[in-house]
Structure 1
């Protein structure tokens, strides 16, 4: 499997940076579930409006939805993050 190993050596180091974090949170880091969930909220709430009169009104709508989403999940601790909170805080000191 030398061609596979050589291919792995050529990978940009930033691509696999999530391996530097504790194992408990890696799945949350590389998963897109939270992004997909937010996109579904936007689609569901924008559908009844069908058309926005200006680009600024669409930007404002998405901004309001993002702030609402952040407020709703502000105190939520994502899977695994509660177990390694001290470790993560030490990374950013």
Structure 2
């Protein structure tokens, strides 16, 4: 065992190791803070406008309980590399 952990990809089932592997043909942003901290979000299919707005992502650990949503948006200091948590929404 190397001690290296793979980042979890948002929306995947990591019981299947293949679904937890990044695909070099796809684009990902890292989620920073909040209930989805450290996960990668696949933004390959998002338009440029959608990438500037961010997303409400379903999470099992929000202030509103399982199925609540967490708001993530691009970090102004690094808009291509990570999205920061803005808070939970109902």
Q: Normalising to structure 2: TM-score of the pair? A: 0.21
Larger Rg: 1
Higher normalized contact order (CA 8 Å, seq sep 6+, divided by chain length): 1
Higher share of residues assigned strand? 2
Q: Normalising to structure 1: TM-score of the pair? A: 0.21
Higher share of residues assigned helix? 1
